[in-house]
Structure 1
Amino acid sequence: MTDTNPPGHLRAARLEQVAGGTGTGRDTTGSAATGVGTAGTKGTHARQNPAAELGFSGDPGQHGDPGDNMLHSQRVWDGTLATNRLDELGVNTERQRMETKDVTASVSVLVDGWPEDVEKSLQSVIDHTDARVLALDLGNVDGAGDVLRGLAERYPERIAAWHVAETPLWRGGTATWGESRMKLMRLDQSEVHVLMETNVVLRGDALTPLIAVVVEGAVAAGWKGLEPEDDGARWREAGPGKVRALSGELLAVRRAQALSALPEDAEYGANADVALSQGLRGELVVPSETLPVTLTGTHETSPGDQGHSARL
């Protein structure tokens, strides 16, 4: 499968050099819908005092002295509070859903054991998102492939599963992380490709905020960011905002760019996400909002690996 179709629903990727700056350049206070703070002052069909209904101060009938700077500052402050609180009530999430509704996205997973985690992880994607799941079972380790087969039969329109005899290299077999991930990426036809590990469980829609960042121009967005330590030998968790690399536990990327950046020769998953990040041209971003994501535990992706906290 080749990437022949242009990403028609994505904005052009921003090509600034990736740097460890802060902030995404995005509007995280809801100013894209600035009418929220002023809707009660215009229009015959507006409610008399929508701010009061939400517990804010301000009466649209009391205009006061137009030259009163204190009154003006109070109105700006009230409007900002109203917008922020509406974001907390889900307005921002709904706006993101509208912005990304036409963008195609698929979640890809490697099934390499831990059958209970596989069921929880994939079920959470089904329950909380509309994304399609692409899953590659490597050798039915510990019966995890059987769990995948059952889920695919239960949700045939949501889960596409492939089963191979090769077990993963990190579990004593021959299948490498890079070639397995590349197979899934080439089988995908979506604009946004989401890499997800099977120890990740979604407690809500954690994909829409990531996809929204990509739609707005980032080349990739992730649940966790990474920055190099001063010695350059280790990476520490970073974000929100622009980061130098993204953790592969949950990572959304423009598939067209990822096809040439994914380290297909990577034997193990440990640090392969850093290599992928460094191969991408554009901004890597961790969203400002806290995503509803939890981990069921640590899955080894290389011999003796104890998770990303021990990455070298």
Structure 2
Amino acid sequence: MADDLRDQIEDAGWVVRDAGEGFELTPKPSFTVYPTVASVPVPSARTREGTTGGPAAVPTGDAGPGGGGASTGDAGRRDDEGGGRDGKGLPAASFEASHPGGRQAVVGDAARPPGVDDGTAEETGVDSMVASQVLWDSSLATSRMDEGLSVATTVEDHDKAPPTVATVALIVDGHPSDLRKCVDALIAHSDAKILALDLGNVDGAGTALNELVERHPDRIKAWHVAETPHWRGGSAGWGASRNKLLELDTGDVHVAMETSTILDGDAITPLVSAVTGDVVAAGWKGVDPDDGGRDWHEAGPGEVRGLLGYLLAVRRDKALSVGGFPEKARYYRNADLEFSLTLPGKMVVPEKDLPVHQERHRGYHDVDEEYRDRESRRTYERVMERLRSTGR
């Protein structure tokens, strides 16, 4: 009966979502919304056979409460700058037209956030690492993007293959004004295609994304989910969201970018051009570990040990070969270092300064400090473990 009532309410143009101890009644959006990140279908033969991707989305009108949960591990990342980030999408009408079977997704109850472990990891010097990173993170306040280019099947062919249109991947976690500024700059200063993943239409950012899609249907594809970001009290993890964008991309070079990163010129082409030969990734900002690995310092131009996730381009096949971005990373901070250490090849920062700047990094500055430090520490423990295992 509860499901029937929700359907009737939805037919009347409203959506009921669980919220804390009660519920929220919000206007029904004009775009397709999937219940979780995991439920967004990847349009490939493997997905149709059920060997990859998450569960199929529930048809609108036949769904009960939004269920399931996107993959949310126990990790995070490391940034003290000032800015935010976002993802990829299609308007509902376009999506339905290209996916036979009609309306596939439902706006159900937003997935409830899992319990957060309040335990503190063993310190073993990690606190000093967090403090030192605050210094260099602040100094590196920058931005990032995601793009994709056509890469050949062999290294030799890849060396000869000319760059094609890039794909920039954005995670949309709120702050619609940041999203608009980021996308407007991408449209103005690059030929990149844009993929965006909206997490929960926080602050109306999903609605803003849909408007951008309608304005630039040839440049932007977007997906919307009911799950809100883990770093904003929801259950959608950063790593799981990044990996969904990686799976949805069809380009050879995948460019991960944050919405706090703003182009002042074409910064995409230099990154894509740098990903050739034995170079598997190139980024705007690079870092190297000090002796012992507990502190990192800014590095580059040239070859680096790690790339920061504000704006980095990576060969998509190489990223997929190592399992993509760290699935356990619920929060971005330090997750880019963990990802960098898994890549099988060289990483570089281009010789020439890229025409980009970063505005307020909301993913760091506007997140609860206790949450930020806890999730950052969890991820950095994995970074240290990987450093120790490689002996570098």
Task: Give the TM-score normalised by the residue count of structure 1.
Answer: 0.66
Match of 1:241 in 2: 302
Task: Report if aligned partners of 1:134, 1:184 keep a CA contact under 8 Å in 2.
Answer: yes
Residues 209 and 232 of structure 1: CA distance in aligned 2, closer, same or farther (over 3 Å): same
Match of 2:227 in 1: 166
Residues 101 and 202 of structure 1: CA distance in aligned 2, closer, same or farther (over 3 Å): farther
Match of 1:199 in 2: 260
Task: Report if aligned partners of 1:227, 1:236 keep a CA contact under 8 Å in 2.
Answer: yes
Secondary structure of 2:328's counterpart equals: coil
* Aligned partner (choices 341, 344, 351) of residue 278 of structure 1: 341
CA distance in 2, matches of 1:291, 1:216: 21
Match of 1:152 in 2: 213
CA distance in 2, matches of 1:269, 1:173: 14
Query: Match for 1:234: what amino acid?
Result: D
CA distance in 2, matches of 1:13, 1:227: 31
Residues 193 and 226 of structure 1: CA distance in aligned 2, closer, same or farther (over 3 Å): same
Match of 2:359 in 1: 296
Secondary structure of 2:174's counterpart equals: coil
User: Any runs of at least 4 consecutive aligned residues in structure 1 with deviations exceeding 4 A, and if so which?
Assistant: 1-4, 99-102, 309-312
Matched, 1:133 2:277: no
Secondary structure of 2:275's counterpart equals: helix
- Deviation of the 1:122 alpha carbon: 1.1
Match of 2:181 in 1: 120
Residues 102 and 222 of structure 1: CA distance in aligned 2, closer, same or farther (over 3 Å): closer
Which 5+ residue runs of structure 2 have no aligned equivalent? 1-41, 47-149, 381-392
Query: Per-residue displacement from partner, 1:66-95 (whole Å, max 9, x unpaired)?
Result: xxxxxxxxxxxxxxxxxxxxxxxxxxxxxx
Matched, 1:263 2:292: no
1:1-312 aligned within 5 A:
1=42, 7-8=151-152, 11-12=155-156, 101-261=162-322, 262-300=325-363, 303-304=368-369, 305=372
Query: Match for 1:275: what amino acid?
Result: E
Residues 199 and 158 of structure 1: CA distance in aligned 2, closer, same or farther (over 3 Å): same
Identical pairs, percent: 50
State which drifts further: 255-264 or 129-138. 255-264
Secondary structure of 1:259's counterpart equals: helix
Residues 266 and 260 of structure 1: CA distance in aligned 2, closer, same or farther (over 3 Å): farther
Task: Report if aligned partners of 2:165, 2:191 keep a CA contact under 8 Å in 1.
Answer: no
Residues 280 and 162 of structure 1: CA distance in aligned 2, closer, same or farther (over 3 Å): same
Task: Report if aligned partners of 1:196, 1:249 keep a CA contact under 8 Å in 2.
Answer: yes
Residues 197 and 111 of structure 1: CA distance in aligned 2, closer, same or farther (over 3 Å): same
- Deviation of the 1:12 alpha carbon: 4.8
Query: Match for 1:125: what amino acid?
Result: L
Residues 204 and 267 of structure 1: CA distance in aligned 2, closer, same or farther (over 3 Å): same
Secondary structure of 1:190's counterpart equals: coil
CA distance in 1, matches of 2:176, 2:154: 35
- Deviation of the 1:216 alpha carbon: 4.5
CA distance in 2, matches of 1:103, 1:175: 32
Task: Report if aligned partners of 2:201, 2:207 keep a CA contact under 8 Å in 1.
Answer: yes
Secondary structure of 1:300's counterpart equals: helix
Query: Match for 1:118: what amino acid?
Result: L
Structure with bigger gyration radius: 1
CA distance in 2, matches of 1:199, 1:236: 22
Which 5+ residue runs of structure 1 have no aligned equivalent? 15-98
Task: Report if aligned partners of 2:173, 2:199 keep a CA contact under 8 Å in 1.
Answer: yes
CA distance in 2, matches of 1:113, 1:257: 30
- Deviation of the 1:13 alpha carbon: 10
Task: Give the TM-score normalised by the residue count of structure 2.
Answer: 0.53
Task: Report if aligned partners of 2:228, 2:235 keep a CA contact under 8 Å in 1.
Answer: yes
Query: Per-residue displacement from partner, 1:220-256 (whole Å, max 9, x unpaired)?
Result: 0000001113342232221110000000000000000
Number of residues of Structure 1 aligned to a counterpart in Structure 2: 225
